[in-house]
């Protein structure tokens, strides 16, 4: 029986410790780290935020140039694809390669249609920020009481 919230917090703290130990164990055995507790593949993780008339998306795209990314929008369908090319530098021998290399693609179905003409995308510190204004029909409307 928990009597305080701190009890629950402590329980999760212990679980976090276990997870860290497990993560360290897998890197000890030379296997790449994958956030197995969240997703199968650790690349292109995404966050979606909603405000009244727009969606905000954040995607992890470390080391990607803007030319290497491809964003497609149609109605409420969003597709992000790209290619990450980092070949072994010349004359180097390889000890570890854990970072994803090659092409990737991920598609999303947004909760509402977006106005594709006014979508803005910026790339900062390896995170892609997308601002997707909702289309006129999907915007919330104030109803006045007569």
Partner 1 sequence: MDKNTEIAKRDDRNIEKTRELYEAAPAVDIYENEDEILLVADMPGVTKEEVSVNIDNGRLALSGIRKLETGGVASWEEFGNVEFVRNFSVPQTIDVENVKAELKNGVLTLHMPKSEKAKPRQIEIKTA
Name the 3-class secondary structure at 21.
helix
| Nearest to partner 1 of 117, 125 (CB atom) | 125
Judged by CB under 8 A, the stretch of 31-39, 74-82, 114-122, 135-143 that binds partner 1 is 31-39
Q: Which of 8, 18, 35, 136 binds partner 1 (CB under 8 A)?
A: 35
Residue from the set 10, 72, 118, 139 that interacts with partner 1 by CB under 8 A: 10
- Give CA separation, 135 vs 18, 43, 75, 85, in Å: 45, 29, 9, 35
Is residue 96 a contact point for partner 1 (CB under 8 A)? Answer: yes
SS3 call for 107: strand
Cα–Cα dist 89/19, whole Å: 34
Q: Which is nearer to partner 1, 140 or 144 (CB)?
A: 140
């Amino acid at each position: 029986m928990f009597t305080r919230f701190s009890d629950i917090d402590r329980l999760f703290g212990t679980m976090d410790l276990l997870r860290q130990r497990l993560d360290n164990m897998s890197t000890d055995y030379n296997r790449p780290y994958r956030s197995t507790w969240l997703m199968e593949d650790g690349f292109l993780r995404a966050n979606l935020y909603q405000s009244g008339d727009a969606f905000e998306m954040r995607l992890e795209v470390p080391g990607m140039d803007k030319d290497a990314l491809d964003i497609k929008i149609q109605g409420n369908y969003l597709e992000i694809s790209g290619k990450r090319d980092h070949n072994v530098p010349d004359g180097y021998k390889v000890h570890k390669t854990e970072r994803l290399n090659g092409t990737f693609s991920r598609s999303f179905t947004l909760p509402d249609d977006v106005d594709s003409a006014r979508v803005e995308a910026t790339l900062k510190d390896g995170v892609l920020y997308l601002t997707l204004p909702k289309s006129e029909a999907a915007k919330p409307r104030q109803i006045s009481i007569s």
